[in-house]
Amino acid sequence: MKTLAALTLIFTLSACVNYVDEFYKANAVNQSHRQAIPSTGPAEIVYTNKKNLEEKFWNIIESGYLDVGRSGISGELVEESEIQAVAQKVGASKVLFMKEFKRREDNSYFYQMPNTQTTYHSGNVSGIDSSGNYGSATLYGTSTTYGTKPIYVPKVSNIYSQKVIFFLKRKPGGLGVSARNLTPEERKATGSNFGAVIQAVYRGSSAFNANMMRDDIIISINDIDIKDKDHLDEIISKYLGKDSVPMIIYRDGNVYSVSIDIDPIT
């Protein structure tokens, strides 16, 4: 019984670690984004495989979400309750979960259990005292031996590569794009260090309605050269609710001039 209780405690303690939380890395920019809408309820979990991970990721973004953080785990399959615990902690309303089986591992081991043995002793003694009287007595005692006893603990684990990505709903408004900085190759292609590359266009947004597309490069807004993605956000914030804002776009080796109505943030 003591052995069973000790082993139960070992497994209980090992199960207390939430590896989704332990390996979580926040996207601090989006977590504090002015258009982020934290959720208080359970998150919707979208399951995918490695092949479709990137496509699913951008589909979620374009449907109106901001990625606020992710966990990368190599180990036993995490529980849905672990995912939901982190989702609630960060306010995520949607989670993308990818798992890929890697291998089986035999993690069986021997646990050294304390093994204490107490032996009880007794014996009779008899004799004649100085007065010539005969007598006898029974003596009692104990001896204790301390040591350990190996207990075999079988444990075979299925190991998975897992990615858990958390999303907050995005308030409508603004230009409606997710952007990144230019790579060195893109700078050479455009012949400029300026610009920001569109990674995603939110469906139904100002950019979507103006037929802006993924991989377009925003060169300038109202004759203001865009330095990088942070500068793009800064400039867009000055034109919220403005109509016919002129922009220069680079696409597939061509430069286009467009005018876009930039929605206010509701």
Q: Which of 148, 142, 213 is nearest to 177 (CA)?
A: 213
| Pair (53, 165) in one structural domain | yes
Residue 125 lies in a domain: yes
pLDDT surpassing 50 at residue 14: yes
Taking only the tens place, the pLDDT of each residue in 41-73 is: 899 999 999 999 999 999 999 999 999 999 999
Q: Are residues 25 and 81 in the same domain?
A: yes
- Within a domain: 183: yes
Asked whether the beta carbons of 177 and 161 are under 8 A apart, the reply is no
Please identify, among 128, 143, 169, the residue that sits at the C-terminal boundary of a domain.
Answer: 169
Report the alpha-carbon angle 205-207-208, nearest 5.
65
Q: Total domain count for the chain?
A: 3
99 and 123 co-located in one domain: no
Residue 137 is predicted with a pLDDT of 65
265 within domain boundaries: no
Pair (247, 182) in one structural domain: yes
Please check whether residue 33 lies inside any domain of the structure. Answer: yes
Q: Give the pTM.
A: 0.76
> Do 29 and 50 belong together in one domain?
yes
| Tokens coding 94 | 């949607």
Q: What is the pLDDT of residues 108-164, one digit of tens each?
A: 888 888 877 777 767 676 667 666 677 666 766 777 777 788 888 888 899 999 999
Q: Which domain range does residue 185 map to?
A: 172-260
- 61 and 147 housed in the same domain: no
Whichever domain contains 223, its CATH number is 2.30.42.10
Residue 266 lies in a domain: no
Q: Is 241 left (phi over 0), alpha (psi -120 to 50) or beta?
A: left
Domain boundary among 124, 140, 169: 169
Share of the chain above pLDDT 90, in %: 68
